[in-house]
Structure 1
Amino acid sequence: MAATEDITLQELHVSSQHRLEEHAGQANLEDTMQGKEHKPSEPLHDEQEEWMPSRKYQTALLAAGFAMTFHVIGINSIYGIFQEFYTSPATNIKGTQGQDALVSLVGTIGTGLTWSGSIFVNPLITRVKHIQWIMLSGVLIMSLGIFLASFSTELWHLYLTQALVYGVGASLYYFPILALTPAYFDQHRGFALGFILSGSSVGGLILSPVMSALISHLGVGWALRILGIWNLVVGVPVSFVVKKRGNVYNSRRTRVDLNVAKRGAFIWQAFGAFLQAGGNVVPTYFLTTYSVSVLSYSSSKASLLLSINNAVNSVARITMGIIADRVGRQNTLIVSVILSAISVLTLWPFAPRPRFIAFIVSYGVLAGGYNALLPTTIAEVYGVQHYTSVNGFIYFIRGMGALLGAPLAGVILGSHQRGLGTYTPSGTSAIDLHMLRTKYNQVAMYDGAVLLAAGLCVAYVRWSDARYKGRWQWIA
């Protein structure tokens, strides 16, 4: 869930019925509003052909997008497995045992840069003619970061490779295909984006047990090398599938309009995105460490729990979209964020094994609502003409939130030992784990409070948007 970030089946639903003529008309209208002359002599024939790609190319584009999100968001969502290893007694990194705050910062930098890079990658897309080179450079940089991380022996090595280099490459690889794919679909844009982004949850579902097994049998070094090489092998052909056609990605739409930025809804939307991203990564990053250190699960079983979380999250995104179509997207978004906070506050603290599994499932279901519906609500609140600019800025803010959320939880948790006791069927421990449980309880309280504040922010956005438009609608 990282990550996921993420766009959904409904992300561009509001514009799914638009045809080439409507896009051309919209562009003319925007030019007129900005005092620019539209040249009537510009031919439309070439652009029209570009808006009608072959089914073969559309199929290739869907496969390429699925593979991209499988790796980028999938890898981001399973960093908890690496964190559990780096902070365990078996770690190969000096000074990281029990240091969750410092180690979680590696993952949050990578995830944060993946999202925050939108503010730089989106304008770059408008300036580069051959978009394949942006994606190819992203694949190379991302794979290099993963591969070089396998040789790390100091924490700063991980910051440089698995965090900084990886994050920059992941952003370059991630955004071009999502920005340009909708131009090649007409009536089935929602399906196209939904199929592509389903790769993120499938990636987390599959990569979690695979990477856990590789670390257990071959060591973290070879696990990272295999992952880096595999990412490169898949990513190179994916990069050459996407093509930039016509004027489908307009540079005017990469900057937030000043009038939009001044709206109260925009300010609170950004603040809510910051808080939700910070709170959202905490359960996924600390799920595996809690399972091993408090519940005395093995690392392989902890990775299985993470896979379960990703599996229910993928199903929830589709389900939330269906519910949102009936009761309103903003309404569903608000309820999902608030209920996700309640699940953290009520199910995680002092959770024994059965209740923790219930928390994993419930949080996976509820947390998917925000990731699934945020892009669609952005289009509804600010209009389709402002979607790209606002969405890019909001994801930049989300990256900043993700960067801070997990490390602050790590500071609360502090340094501790793994596997202090042996878990018994009665739900107690042979050694007193009360102090460690108390620390995780504090992490849960912190995370729940952050998510609850995010829920209040999105609720205010709902009210502010209704006031701005001069009408209240129960279904919105």
Structure 2
Amino acid sequence: MAEQIELHEQAPRLKSVSSPQDQDKGTSQQDDVDDTGITEASLTLEEQTDLDARRGQGFEAYPDGGVAAWLQVLYCFCIMFTTLGGVYSWGIFQDALHAEQLAPSSTLAFIGSTQATLEGLCAIPISALVARFGNKNVAVVGAILSGLGPILASWCTKSVAGLFVTEGFMFGAGQALCFFCAATLPSSYFSRRRNFATGLVYAGSGVGGAALSLAANGLIKSIGLPWTFRILGILFLAINLPCAYLLKPRPIISPIHHGAQGGLTWGPVVKISLLKDIRFVLVLIGSAVALFPLFVPPFFLPLFATSIGLSSGAASSLLAGFNLASATGRIGWGVMADRWFGSLNSLLLCLAANATSTLVIWPIAGRVGPLAVFAVINGFCAGGFFSLIPGVVSSLFSDDDLPVAFSMIVSLWAPGDFLGAPIAGYLLQAFGGPDSGYEAYRPAIFYAGGLGVFSALMVFGARVKEGGSWRRRL
């Protein structure tokens, strides 16, 4: 991974800038020329001074700590807590709406899947918006939408269409906008502890999923569904608006560049050159396939638990345990990546462990003990996947490529977000349904585990292509 930021995105009139390493080696460089033929020698004194200042800023060491850096991690954590945490808590609202006989659970489940899918579908355009308008401005819009969605949904508890518009699309769009503003921001403040910082940010979604699920369940029982939507919506606004306003990446790396006349022009939001790199393609395919099985356990653990005779309270506790383990995994895998294995090696181990737990433990978890072990291990690995992806991209490619490469990868998560769990549900129904005992779940379990193995093999291929000793932190 490049430890210093390249400046061709920051220097407005230059195509490339020599690095300090090149200067230390005494390497002679020709005058840098931009696309319009402007050379460094042709710059005015004022422009040359500005360029030197940009060089100094870009080649500073990463802060890798300090109050400003950790405050940004805190703001991003809070945003993930409410937005992705809200997505993970949708099951509580789904159960409540199903109990009121609004619609079948299969129909209501698509509202939750719409929330998650918008992240992938809108990855590339949102990345372009962040590059054009900045993290703060885009996140503020996302905070408003993610708060208004639940508030307006409180008047739509008798309308499936209304819930699709408010909770599905409005909240889903808001949380997607917020996600891309917070997901990679720690990478501009941290190098040595980048995965740890990113893991802390992503842990917000797991903690939020557990906390909001318990809170929503209690509020629905005490004050009803409409007021629960309103209270959570107001809470989202109160947390997200100030955190979004305080977001400040360092430096702002984007696919936007300045034209020769000083006006802003859109740069590429998809880099074809990345698709020519076999390592990127393998990570792209591996992560896209990984999304299909990752949401199967949290969606089906409660049903599976009741099928083996556990109470609904025990089933809810298992799901909360899964979410908390997921939050721990987002931090734990980040620490392991930073200290011992590196991002790519950690992602390979994470996916392999996730697939192994699905194929080995879940099929024989006919009692609460083995099922709890599975929930903890699988949740720990599922959380690690999400927090490791930005570090993997950073370790394989330059920091300039991070926003574009990350958005390209996340855009292919949409099929897995939308179809992964429903396919498992179809397999479950085809082999007897939820009331036929836990044996009926095994085809869905093997489907999830098999795709998990395939995704691990893709990442293994990227690691082989990268080469070097397996003891190397990469």
Matched, 1:211 2:197: no
CA contact (8 A) 2:199 2:333 kept: no
Quote the offset at 1:29 in angstroms.
5.4
Other structure's SS at 1:255 match: coil
Quote the offset at 1:288 in angstroms.
2.5
Shifted more, 384-393 versus 211-220: the winner is 211-220
Residues 245-295 of structure 1: CA deviation (Å, up to 9, x unaligned) = 875434267634322212333333222111111210111122223334543
Matched, 1:408 2:408: no
Residues 309-366 of structure 1: CA deviation (Å, up to 9, x unaligned) = 1222222333323433424433332222122112112222363222211110111223
Instruction: Pick one of 13, 18, 29 that aligns with 2:4.
Output: 18
Quote the offset at 1:217 in angstroms.
2.8
Matches within 5 A, 1:351-390: 351-390=366-405
Give the length in aligned residue pairs: 436
Residues 43-87 of structure 1: CA deviation (Å, up to 9, x unaligned) = 269867999999775565343222111111212222333344444
Other structure's SS at 1:348 match: helix
Matches within 5 A, 1:293-304: 294-298=308-312, 300-304=313-317
The 3 A distance-change label for structure 1 pair 223 and 289 is: farther
Other structure's SS at 1:173 match: helix
* Partner AA of 2:461 in structure 1: Y
1:461 is matched with which residue? 462
1:136 is matched with which residue? 140
2:87 is matched with which residue? 76
Alpha-carbon distance in 1 for matches of 2:33, 2:121: 30
1:93 is matched with which residue? 102
Q: Percent identical across equivalent pairs?
A: 24
CA contact (8 A) 2:102 2:160 kept: yes
Using the size of structure 2 for normalisation, the TM-score is: 0.79
Matched, 1:309 2:322: yes
Matches within 5 A, 1:50-65: 58=69, 60-65=71-76
Residues 412-438 of structure 1: CA deviation (Å, up to 9, x unaligned) = 2339999x9xxxxxxxxxxxx5x2423
Give the greater-gyration-radius structure (CA): 2
The 3 A distance-change label for structure 1 pair 214 and 73 is: same
Matches within 5 A, 1:35-46: 35=35, 37=38, 40=43, 41=47, 43=50
1:290 is matched with which residue? 304
Shifted more, 254-263 versus 392-401: the winner is 254-263
Alpha-carbon distance in 1 for matches of 2:94, 2:219: 15
Quote the offset at 1:226 in angstroms.
1.6
The 3 A distance-change label for structure 1 pair 83 and 293 is: farther
Gaps of 5+ in 2: 18-31, 258-266
* Partner AA of 2:340 in structure 1: R
CA contact (8 A) 1:309 1:364 kept: yes
Alpha-carbon distance in 2 for matches of 1:372, 1:247: 21
Quote the offset at 1:110 in angstroms.
0.6
Alpha-carbon distance in 1 for matches of 2:157, 2:33: 54
Quote the offset at 1:460 in angstroms.
1.9
CA contact (8 A) 1:305 1:357 kept: yes
Alpha-carbon distance in 2 for matches of 1:342, 1:315: 19
* Partner AA of 1:76 in structure 2: V
Matches within 5 A, 1:102-141: 102-128=107-133, 131-141=135-145
CA contact (8 A) 1:256 1:386 kept: no
CA contact (8 A) 2:351 2:385 kept: yes
Quote the offset at 1:182 in angstroms.
4.7
Quote the offset at 1:457 in angstroms.
1.7
The 3 A distance-change label for structure 1 pair 392 and 355 is: same
Alpha-carbon distance in 2 for matches of 1:144, 1:128: 22
Instruction: Pick one of 54, 64, 78 that aligns with 1:67.
Output: 78
Other structure's SS at 2:413 match: helix
Other structure's SS at 1:414 match: helix
* Partner AA of 1:35 in structure 2: D
The 3 A distance-change label for structure 1 pair 341 and 326 is: same
1:5 is matched with which residue? none
CA contact (8 A) 1:76 1:110 kept: yes
The 3 A distance-change label for structure 1 pair 27 and 323 is: farther
Other structure's SS at 1:224 match: helix
Alpha-carbon distance in 1 for matches of 2:66, 2:279: 40
2:20 is matched with which residue? none
Matches within 5 A, 1:252-267: 255-267=269-281
The 3 A distance-change label for structure 1 pair 368 and 179 is: closer
Relative contact order (alpha carbons < 8 A, sep ≥ 6): 1 or 2 greater? Answer: 1
Other structure's SS at 1:288 match: helix
CA contact (8 A) 1:146 1:161 kept: yes
Alpha-carbon distance in 2 for matches of 1:311, 1:377: 24
Instruction: Pick one of 392, 411, 416 that aligns with 1:396.
Output: 411
CA contact (8 A) 1:316 1:368 kept: yes
2:284 is matched with which residue? 270
Alpha-carbon distance in 2 for matches of 1:326, 1:242: 30
Quote the offset at 1:189 in angstroms.
5.7
Other structure's SS at 1:295 match: coil
Quote the offset at 1:393 in angstroms.
0.7
CA contact (8 A) 2:254 2:400 kept: no
The 3 A distance-change label for structure 1 pair 286 and 224 is: farther
Alpha-carbon distance in 2 for matches of 1:336, 1:86: 35
Residues 71-111 of structure 1: CA deviation (Å, up to 9, x unaligned) = 11212222333344444xx23423x1xx43x3332222211
The 3 A distance-change label for structure 1 pair 327 and 23 is: same
CA contact (8 A) 2:33 2:39 kept: no
